[in-house]
Amino acid sequence: MKVQGRHIRSIWLDDDGWSVNAIDQRRLPHHFVVERLTTCDSAAEAIRSMLVRGAPLIGATAAYGMALAMRADSTDRALDHAYRMLIATRPTAINLKWALDEMLSLLRPLSAADRMAAAYSRAADIAEEDVVINKGIGRHGLAVIEKIAATKKRGERVNVLTHCNAGWLATVDWGTATAPIYLAHEQGRDVHVWVDETRPRNQGASLTAWELGHHGVPHTVVPDNTGGHLMQHGLVDLVIVGTDRVTANGDVCNKIGTYLKALAARDNGVPFYVALPSPTIDFSVDDGLTQIPIEQRAADEVSTITGLTAAGTIETVRIVPEGSPVANYAFDVTPARLVTGLITERGVLKPDRAALSAAFPERIATAAE
Ligand code: MRU
């Protein structure tokens, strides 16, 4: 998508043909900094520290991490070590495992001499495929927005609420939840986005608002607790969120607070859609509540807040009394029964096993392996 009129992706291969550039998302929205990843360790650290984040981008970065590992050492031992290091970075987004399994099953049978070239080629394909998939999600999601727009008075604004950042920064390009919004905006539809700030790391306030602003999409940042009020007053036409993992039964794991939005949407008759690329489906898991590992992150993400001071410096301040314990669950699970539809690259699906397995039969086969 665009930053100051220039097209850019969240991750790309450097002109040197081997190192990998990624936007440092920890520095946004105040500073635009590109980091150069040169080793598998640096790719793993980028994921762990959330320099890159968002399920599809985590997968693409891990794939490039494997390529960087093979550049340094393409033995079996190095291959296994890279896989183990990268898989341990973050536990919830299944795209990480998907991408690493893709890389491992391709590279394992190859001779050490062939591995590096094959790894770079597959990592580039994974990144390209993500862009194509998201455009597909955009097309199908646009139809959802158009249908809702048709129920409103002629030309009246369509209000979409989103949570966290499932935008182009969370993917390679276009985003998942934002792809339909960007398409609707490009086609001249008056679409406005309610952006949940998404405490504790504020991915909505820092990243989604930044993206939408640079692309000229009307939006308003709201504290996380505002969604229910907006829905009660008819100010939300639909919710579209992203996801880190969808189970075979259609349960949706996403950024903490998503479940509360789904409950409010159900109580107010607001359609609740989840946008996902097929690598986010985990056919090996049925029950989202008991079978998905929920990442718990550092306490200081909750007990402190970071921002730009009037003097132009970035500062972190404490907002919780010294000594008060905090909990930092990074994700929650929205049961399939609260989901109106899953917007995928192959269409809008019911959130259930029959619909998911009919649309993505090839993924069931790999889950069984
Ligand atoms: O902790 P994060 O920032 O990686 O969490 C991101 C989300 O929860 C996104 O909504 C999800 O990964 C979907 S991204 C298209």
Per-residue confidence band for 155, with pLDDT thresholds at 50, 70 and 90: confident
Give me the CATH number covering residue 74: 1.20.120.420
> How confident is the model over 41-52, as a mean pLDDT?
98
Alpha-carbon span 94 to 338, nearest angstrom: 21
- 288/320 same-domain check: yes
The chain-wide mean pLDDT, for the chain, equals 97
- 112/174 same-domain check: no
* pLDDT for 1: 78
- 160/17 same-domain check: no
* Residue 84 located in a structural domain: yes
* CA 209 to centroid of ligand 1, rounded, Å: 15
Q: Indicate if ligand 1 lies below 6 Å from the C-beta of 244.
A: yes
* Residue 80 located in a structural domain: yes
> How confident is the model over 337-349, as a mean pLDDT?
98
- 106/217 same-domain check: no
* Residue 358 located in a structural domain: yes
Per-residue confidence band for 106, with pLDDT thresholds at 50, 70 and 90: very high
Residue 244 bears catalytic tag: yes
* Residue 138 located in a structural domain: no
Q: Which of 177, 221, 167 is CA-nearest to residue 23?
A: 167
* CA 254 to centroid of ligand 1, rounded, Å: 7
| pLDDT above 80 (res 7) | yes
Interval 210-256: pLDDT, tens:
999 999 999 999 999 999 999 999 999 999 999 999 999 999 999 99
The single residue of 130, 196, 237, 244 carrying the catalytic annotation is 244
* pLDDT for 225: 96
Q: Indicate if ligand 1 lies below 6 Å from the C-beta of 255.
A: yes
* pLDDT for 369: 65
* Residue 184 located in a structural domain: yes
Q: Which atom of ligand 1 is nearest to the CA of 255?
A: 8
Q: Indicate if ligand 1 lies below 6 Å from the C-beta of 196.
A: no
* Residue 125 located in a structural domain: yes
The count of structural domains within the chain is: 2
Helix locations, 187-312, DSSP H: 203, 209-215, 227-232, 258-268, 288-291, 300-303
Residue from 244, 332, 333 to probe ligand 1 pocket by mutation (most atoms less than 8 Å from CB): 244
Q: Which of 129, 160, 175 is the last residue of a domain?
A: 129
* CA 288 to centroid of ligand 1, rounded, Å: 16
- 94/204 same-domain check: no
Per-residue confidence band for 173, with pLDDT thresholds at 50, 70 and 90: very high
* Residue 134 located in a structural domain: no
* pLDDT for 368: 63
The residue count for the chain = 369
Q: How many helices (H) and strands (E) does the chain have?
A: 14, 18
- 211/346 same-domain check: yes
Give me the CATH number covering residue 172: 3.40.50.10470
- 301/234 same-domain check: yes
- 293/200 same-domain check: yes
Per-residue confidence band for 364, with pLDDT thresholds at 50, 70 and 90: confident
- 120/167 same-domain check: no
* CA 51 to centroid of ligand 1, rounded, Å: 13
Q: Which atom of ligand 1 is nearest to the CA of 331?
A: 8
Alpha-carbon span 244 to 246, nearest angstrom: 7
Q: In angstroms, how far apart are the furthest CA atoms of the chain? A: 63
Name residue 235's amino acid: L
CB 181 within 8 A of CB 65: no
CB 74 within 8 A of CB 113: yes
* pLDDT for 46: 98
* CA 268 to centroid of ligand 1, rounded, Å: 25
- 166/215 same-domain check: yes
The residue behind tokens 């100010």 is 235
Residue whose CA is at the smallest distance from ligand 1 atom 6: 54
**What is the rounded end-to-end Cα distance, in angstroms, of the chain?**
36
* CA 146 to centroid of ligand 1, rounded, Å: 26
* Residue 205 located in a structural domain: yes
Q: Residue 66: which domain range?
A: 2-129
* pLDDT for 154: 82
- 173/38 same-domain check: no
Structural tokens at position 357: 């397995």
- 191/232 same-domain check: yes
Interval 117-145: pLDDT, tens:
999 999 999 999 999 999 999 999 999 99
Q: Indicate if ligand 1 lies below 6 Å from the C-beta of 279.
A: no
Q: Which of 254, 277, 262 is CA-nearest to residue 356?
A: 277
Residue from 195, 201, 254, 297 to probe ligand 1 pocket by mutation (most atoms less than 8 Å from CB): 254
Q: Which atom of ligand 1 is nearest to the CA of 276?
A: 15
CB 67 within 8 A of CB 55: no
